[in-house]
A and B are shown apart, each in its own frame.
Chain A
Amino acid sequence: MASLVGRHAGFVAALREAGLPVSTAEGLDAVRALEFLDLMDRESVRAAYAATLVKRSAHRELFDTLFDLWFPAALGDGAGHVPGRPGRRLDGEGRPIPAALDPGVQARRRELADVLLDGDDAALRAFARDAVASYGRTPGQESWFSSGVLRALSPDTLMAGLLNAVLTGRDRGGLAERVARRTFRDRIARFERLVAGEVRRRIAEDTGVERTARLSVRPPLERLDFGRANRADLDRLRREVHPLARRLATRLAQRNRAGDRGRLDFRRTVRASLASGGVPLTTRHRPRRPHRPDLVILCDASDSVSAFAHFTLLLTFALREQFSRVRAFAFIDTTDEITKFFAPGADVAAAMTRMAREADLVWITGRSNYGHAIKVFEERYADAIGPRTSLLVLGDARSNYGELSLPVLEAMAGRARHAYWLNPEPRGLWDTGDSAASRYGAIVPMVECRNLDQLTSFVEELA
């Protein structure tokens, strides 16, 4: 591992293991790129690797984490560390004094506030490195933790002081405060990320780079299971879902455009033929009227698929903005129309809370009951599905051993132009327990859809 080539090979292997598709040719590009650069400039080495190896913006965060491990910014305590600065002070019994009573910690907090106020990234980085050296490991602990640093310095609580410092004399609660609050929130988050990165680097020094990499890397966003996504992931997913919805919309619209041309435009054809001496070399056609599909979405909003439900509602929302005629229905054990909550331009978070409060989704049990939900749909909203409709069902097909209403669904699918079912469960679990996946799948083609990759390929295959 000592040689540069070894380090490069290890880094590329780690990227591949983390799920980035790095080809051999791209690895060679990276090496050739390094020849043109000053290797002492760490940021340009990072830029060279990023330009040659990372071809999706969603992979960038993962890349940066691994890059910081393989090409660490410092060794040991780093150059910026002042060795004389002690960590937490201990009381008589060898326990750390509470941070609020420790004058050393309070002085560091004031320093941090100044750095955050200033917004100088290099200073912030140096401060994070130093802070981890001081507080990242309490006496007696074997490993490094960012929690120790964040507990001691508690950067979140600095916000009020920071706002006071910038908003001198201006009224609170207004635009200026909101903008300033956002700026500081970003800087604090940046500080926390720097601390986490620094802690990873320290751990890697102690226990080896490969092992640390495996432990600290989450799968890339497009392979992340919807069911395991946390809040931040859902925010990122939301951004990815919008372009997919737009594509799904165009795909569904295009399916009908097989005959590419419309009727012959006689006048334009004759006019065009004048240029070629009256020989109609090119025929002109009237543009076809674009086909505007109707979309009916039927999504499971029960707790058993809550993370997926959150995602399906995001997808519903995104689709609602793309299609002119979408009707969305949610069900748990009964069905209600939720189209009105998802009006284009509405706020997605607000729409979800309103839906949870106002929509009538629970009939008796509050557990998903596909049979009843489908029946209710057919009774109340049968007119929603017509010959131009694409029907999209989103749910895990687990009906808690209730009835399934297969004939009703068959009638619905028969009336629609297309019908698809996206199931968030791994295919291996279909038909286990109360899952009716294959029985529903026999009526409506069912696709496993648990991450962005699968959703993307579903959208692609529609073409």
Chain B
Amino acid sequence: MTAPAAFTSPDDVAARLAAAGYLADEPVATTVFLAQALGKPLLVEGPAGTGKTELAKAVAAATGAGLLRLQCYEGLDEARALYEFNYKKQLLAIQAAPSDRAWQETHDDIFSAEFLLERPLLAAIRRPDPTVLLIDEADKADVEVEGLLLEVLSDYQVTIPELGTIAAVRRPFVVITSNAARELSEALKRRCLYLHLDYPTAERERAIVLARVPGIEASLAEQLVRTVAALRDLELKKAPSIAETIDWARTLLALGLDELDETAVARTLGVVLKHVSDQERAAAELGLRG
């Protein structure tokens, strides 16, 4: 845990994440620092497009750690999350075994580490180098996967019947993200630190735009983030994400627009709103002239 790259204070977190291209506000920096200091997994929840996955990537970049990603989906099982045996290779080994060899010997042979296919969870535990384990969109996975995560994340060890218990060489920094489509179990939440990542304040978002879109005028960025904030207020089907704000800024630059007036918004609204009903709604509420 105490690698040379470990964070020393919340300010250190903020500075190093900023160097990695992620502008963290004080609660984010403090929580990331605590997750590392306490050695606890960090559960990041919030609407889509507020930079949850980006945070994990930025932590990896800032600490020089490798990033392992487990993308959750409905039907994810142990074999995809933890490990499975490579049965094709096992079959070949059985076929290639000399005929006079005892079955027991072969059996022991084919259930060794050589035939193990490690999946992200096991890989994160076995890696000797600093690791950030990103468990993405945990709310998409079935409840059983949470049980699996509990086991892995409380002791950082995995038991494989044929091989015994594999304990973590070095505790990975675990980030679990969720869009809160489903409430995660209390047991999992208890073991994690919790960070709710909402859309950024206008000030922070403007700073993000200025950092990510070089060449944009500060006043245009200001107009842009205020307009995006107004759009997010409309209860759309899909509120614009930070990435879409950045896209919009780039679009305006590419079109050579230096002010965001009604016509400019009407022309480029497709960059941020991807549903017809959302666009109609925005046009009606913001008084755009089509």
- Determine if B3 is an interface residue (Cβ-Cβ < 8 Å): no
CB-contacts of B263-290 with A (<8 A): 265, 275-278, 281, 285-288
Report the stretch among B27-35, B103-111, B164-172 that lies at the interface: B27-35
Are B180 and A51 in contact, CB atoms less than 8 angstroms apart? no
Per the bound structure, the CA–CA distance linking A180 and B229 in Å amounts to 11
In the assembled complex, the Cα of A228 lies from the Cα of B214 at a distance in Å of 50
B202 within 8 A of A: yes
B186–A21 touching, CB < 8 Å: yes
Which partner residue on chain A sits nearest B10 by CB separation?
Answer: A44
Interface residues of A in 261-282 (CB under 8 A from B): 275-277, 279, 281
Q: Are A50 and B182 in contact (CB under 8 A)?
A: no
Residues 181-195 of A contacting B (Cβ, < 8 Å): 182-183
- A131 vs B241: C-alpha distance in the bound complex, in angstroms? 37
Nearest Cβ on chain B to A442's Cβ, whole angstroms: 32
Bound-complex Cα distance A46 to B31 (A): 10
CA distance A179 to B91 in the complex (A): 66
A174 interface residue (CB < 8 Å to B): yes
B189 on the A face (CB < 8 A): yes
User: Is the CB–CB distance between B38 and A60 below 8 Å?
Assistant: no
Segment 48-88 of A: residues with Cβ below 8 Å from B: 48, 50-52, 54-57, 60
Q: In the complex the two chains form, is B265's CB within 8 Å of A275's CB?
A: no
In contact, B193 and A52 (Cβ under 8 angstroms): yes
The smallest C-beta distance from A105 to any residue of chain B, in angstroms, reads 30
Q: How far is the CB of A331 from chain B (nearest CB, A)?
A: 27
CB neighbours of B160 from chain A (8 A): none
| Dominant secondary structure of chain A at its interface with chain B | helix
- B282 CB to nearest A CB, Å: 10
- CB-contacts of B81-111 with A (<8 A): 87-88, 91, 95
Given known contacts A176-B261, A183-B202, A347-B281, is B27 in contact with A55 (CB within 8 Å)? no
**B227 in the interface, Cβ–Cβ < 8 Å?**
yes
Q: Is the CB of B182 within 8 A of A243?
A: yes
- Is B49 in the interface zone, CB < 8 Å from A? no
Minimum distance in angstroms from B86 CB to a CB of chain A? 11
**Closest Cβ–Cβ distance, residue B138 to chain A (whole Å):** 13
**Contact A175–B88 (Cβ < 8 Å):** no
Compute how far the CA of A36 lies from the CA of B195 in the bound complex, rounded to whole angstroms. 18
Q: Which residue of B lies closest to A346 (CB)?
A: B277
For B262, list chain A residues within 8 Å (CB).
174-175
- By a CB distance below 8 angstroms, the chain B residues around A43 are 26-27, 30
Chain B nearest CB, measured from A299 CB (Å): 21
Contact stretch, chosen from A2-10, A26-34, A152-160: A26-34
Contacts of A238 in B (CB 8 A): 235
Q: A182-B233, A276-B87, A456-B183 are in contact. Are A47 and B31 (CB under 8 A)?
A: yes
Interface string of B243-270 (1 = CB under 8 A from A): 0000000000000000011100100000
A359 CA to B287 CA in the complex, in Å?
A: 29
Residue contact A47 to B287, C-beta cutoff 8 Å: no
What is the minimal beta-carbon distance from A182 to any residue of chain B, in angstroms?
5
Q: Does B196 contact A (CB under 8 A)?
A: yes
Interface: B80 (CB within 8 A): no
Q: B183 touching A44 by the CB < 8 A rule?
A: no
**Contacts known (A44-B10, A182-B230, A183-B202); A243 close to B180, Cβ less than 8 A:** yes
How would residues 206 to 234 of chain B score, 1 for a CB under 8 Å from any chain A CB and 0 otherwise?
Answer: 00000000000000000100110110010
Of A57, A173, A238, A276, chain B has the most CB atoms within 10 Å of the CB of A57
Closest residue on chain B to residue A240 by CB atoms: B180
B19 interfacial by beta-carbon distance below 8 Å = no
Residues of B contacting A21 with CB < 8 Å? Answer: 186
Contacts of B91 in A (CB 8 A): 276-277, 279, 281
| Interface membership of A290, Cβ < 8 A | no
Question: Is residue A247 contacting chain B, with contact meaning CB distance below 8 A?
Answer: yes
| A283 CB → nearest B CB, Å | 14
State whether the Cβ of B115 lies closer than 8 Å to any Cβ in chain A: no
Minimal beta-carbon separation of A460 from chain B (angstroms) = 9
Q: Report the minimum CB–CB distance from B150 to chain A (whole Å).
A: 14
Q: Are B181 and A246 in contact (CB under 8 A)?
A: yes
A175-B288 CB under 8 A given contacts A36-B37, A347-B281: yes
Q: How far is the CA of A178 from the CA of B283 in the complex (A)?
A: 12
Q: Is A97 an interface residue (CB 8 A)?
A: no
Residue from B46, B181, B223, B265 in contact with A57 in the complex, judged by beta carbons closer than 8 Å: B46
Q: Which residues of A contact B198 (CB under 8 A)?
A: 57
| Bound-state Cα–Cα, A345 to B280, Å | 10
CA distance A247 to B46 in the complex (A): 17
By the criterion CB–CB under 8 Å, are B265 and A37 in contact?
no
Residues of B within 8 A of A344 (CB): 277
Contact residues, B174-202 vs A (CB, 8 A): 180-183, 186, 189-190, 192-196, 198, 202
The answer to whether B230 touches A37, judged by C-beta atoms less than 8 angstroms apart, is no
| Contact yes or no, A54 B194, CB < 8 A | yes
For residue B45, CB closer than 8 A to chain A, the reply is: yes
A175-B288, A182-B233 are contacts. A277–B95 as well, Cβ < 8 Å?
yes
Q: Does B237 contact A (CB under 8 A)?
A: yes
Minimum CB–CB distance for A131 against chain B, Å: 23
- CB-CB under 8 A from A178, the residues of chain B are 230, 285-287
Of B95, B194, B202, B278, which contacts A55 at CB under 8 A? B194
Cα distance A307–B45 in the bound complex, in angstroms = 30
Q: Is the CB of B277 within 8 A of A345?
A: yes
Check if B126 is an interface residue, CB within 8 A of chain A. no
CA distance A83 to B76 in the complex (A): 64
The smallest beta-carbon distance between B275 and chain A, in angstroms, is 7
Given contacts A36-B37, A243-B182, contact A175 B286 (CB under 8 A): yes
Tell me whether B190 and A25 are in contact (CB under 8 A): yes
Q: Assess whether A216 is interfacial by the CB under 8 Å rule.
A: no
Q: Please tell me if the beta carbons of B230 and A32 are within 8 angstroms of each other in the complex.
A: no
Extra contacts besides A50-B31, A57-B180 (13): CB < 8 Å = A29-B193, A36-B33, A47-B30, A55-B189, A56-B183, A57-B198, A174-B287, A178-B286, A183-B202, A243-B182, A276-B91, A345-B276, A347-B281
Query: Which 4 residue pairs across A and B have the least CB separation, nearest first?
Result: A345-B277, A47-B30, A55-B189, A47-B27
- Chain B interface residues (CB < 8 Å from chain A): 10, 26-27, 30-31, 33-35, 37-38, 40, 43, 45-46, 87-88, 91, 95, 180-183, 186, 189-190, 192-196, 198, 202-203, 223, 226-227, 229-230, 233, 235, 237, 260-262, 265, 275-278, 281, 285-288
Measured CB to CB, the residues of A under 8 A from B are 21, 23, 25-26, 29, 32-33, 36-37, 43-44, 46-48, 50-52, 54-57, 60, 119, 173-176, 178-180, 182-183, 238-239, 243, 246-247, 275-277, 279, 281, 344-348, 456
Give 13 CB contacts A-B under 8 Å. Answer: A29-B38, A29-B40, A47-B31, A51-B34, A55-B189, A60-B196, A174-B262, A175-B227, A175-B261, A175-B288, A275-B88, A345-B275, A345-B278
